[in-house]
Amino acid sequence: MIPEFEKFKGFSAKNLPKDEPLAPGHRACQGCGEVLALRMVMKALGRDVIVCNATGCMEIISSPFPQTAWNVPWIHVAFENAAAVASGVESARKALMRKGRIPKKHVDILAVGGDGATGDIGLQWISGAFERGHDLLYVCLDNEAYMNTGVQRSGCTPYGAMTTTSPPGKKSFGQATWKKNVPAIMAAHGIPYVATASPAYYLDLMNKVKKAALVNGPAYVHIYSPCPTGWGSAGERSVEYSKLAVETRVFPLYEVIEGRYIMSRKITKPKPVLDYFKGQRRFRHLTDEQISSIQNKVDVEYEKIIKLSEMT
């Protein structure tokens, strides 16, 4: 077990931090599940954190100069390299503390990016940072497409989903590939902590983020983040979808602690994926046959994770 976790009592409804390191007044769309998740991430981390943000929705909506929504030190350099920037911040602090040039004090280093920044274009930079063992946490806010550039498909876009570069048409049914298993790729680095989270389960999300921060070394949290604008769903239903994705087993919640898979929430009576698809324009074109093939895949993938959790 990870010793750093011992002192951590966990967040509860009673001790939720009131402070908002990510201030309101940013420019996210109404009902944005990504900024909701990010707000929870920041609440969990508090103010002793340096944020390295990849290009994407969250960077754009939070930093239109001369305004900023950030009450904590924040840096954005480019799209694919947040993990390398964070490596630099972490190395600098290590050197400067050792050389007595800044006070010795632990500060969390958070790298944060979307699914495109994380699972596609930035994979190498994250892999490098994890392999080198920097003490940082990487949070992926997965809204399942390149939203900032207008809803293009990414490797994390689910099978069948409509995006502007995976449109259904006479010869296409939408995204033709299955969602890339990014958390598994991260776990394969043998880093101490990997987790998935959903903003509907906010205490679980915050606890996982806090644990990722407490871990000595690299940690990764993959957060499901509804995007009403890109998904063609109602803004007020974002939290509901965050819940449905878990209850239908589409997005299972688990931790991988030192290689051991631990289910955060076993879904014994799953709802049909159709319940989750309803009301999302991106899935509207799917045929019954396609939906049932997706249902099969969801069941198979879920069982794989259950098996992994039973192995240890």
Partner 1 sequence: MAKRVGVEVSIAVADAVKLANADVIPAYPITPQTHIVEHLSDLVANGELDAEFVPVESEHAAMSCCCGSSAAGARTFTSSSSQGLSLMSEILYHPGPMRLPIVMVVANRALAAPISIWNDHQDIMVQRDIGWIQTFAENGQEAFDLTLHAFRVAEDRRVSLPMIVNIDGFTLSHVIEPIEILSQEEVDRFLPSFKPRVRLDVKKPVSMGPVGVPEVYTEAKMAHNEVLKASKKVVVQAWKEFADLFGREYHPVETYRVDDAEALLVTMGSISETAMTAVDAMRDKGEKVGLVRIRLWRPFPGPEFRKAVGKAQVLAVIDRCLPPGAVCGPVGEELRSLFYKVPGAPKIFSFVAGLGGRDVTVERFNEIVSKARAYAKKRPTENYEVIGVREQ
Ligand X SMILES: Cc1ncc(C[n+]2csc(CCOP(=O)(O)OP(=O)(O)O)c2C)c(N)n1
Q: Does 98 bind partner 1 (CB under 8 A)?
A: yes
Q: How far apart are CA 61 and CA 216, in angstroms?
A: 31
**Considering beta carbons, is residue 143 or 264 the nearer one to Mg ion?**
143
The DSSP secondary-structure symbol of 146 reads B
The encoded tokens of residue 219 equal 């940690």
Residue of 36, 53, 76, 115 that binds ligand X (CB under 6 A): 115
Closest contact distance (angstroms) between CB of 89 and partner 1 is 4
Phi and psi for 97 in degrees, rounded to 5?
-70, -45
Q: Could you tell me how far CA 41 lies from the centroid of its own chain?
A: 10
Q: Does 47 bind partner 1 (CB under 8 A)?
A: yes
How many chain residues bind ligand X (CB under 6 A)?
18
Which of 132, 91, 133, 81 shows the shortest CA–CA distance to 111?
81
**Considering beta carbons, is residue 45 or 57 the nearer one to ligand SF4?**
57
Residue of 11, 74, 224, 277 that binds partner 1 (CB under 8 A): 74
Q: How far apart are CA 223 and CA 38, in angstroms?
A: 9
The encoded tokens of residue 242 equal 């965050």
Q: Does 280 bind ligand SF4 (CB under 6 A)?
A: no
CB 151 within 8 A of CB 44: no
* Binding-site partner at residue 91 among ligand SF4, Mg ion, partner 1, none, CB < 5 to 8 Å by type: partner 1
Q: Does 60 bind partner 1 (CB under 8 A)?
A: yes
The piece of 53-61, 172-180, 255-263, 298-306 that touches ligand X (CB under 6 A) is 53-61
From residue 139, alpha-carbon distances to 37, 53, 72, 98, 210 in Å are: 10, 10, 16, 27, 11
Which of 236, 246, 221 shows the shortest CA–CA distance to 33?
236
CB 143 within 8 A of CB 115: yes
Residue of 16, 23, 29, 107 that binds ligand SF4 (CB under 6 A): 29
Task: Annotate each residue in 123-142 with x if it binds partner 1 (CB under 8 A) or - if it does not, as one string.
Answer: -xx-xx--xx----------
Q: Does 120 bind Mg ion (CB under 5 A)?
A: no
Is 139 strand, coil or helix?
Answer: strand
Residues engaged in binding partner 1 (CB under 8 A): 47-50, 52, 59-60, 63-66, 68, 70-78, 80-81, 84-96, 98-99, 101-102, 107, 124-125, 127-128, 131-132
Residues engaged in binding ligand SF4 (CB under 6 A): 28-29, 32, 34-35, 57, 61, 143, 147, 227-230
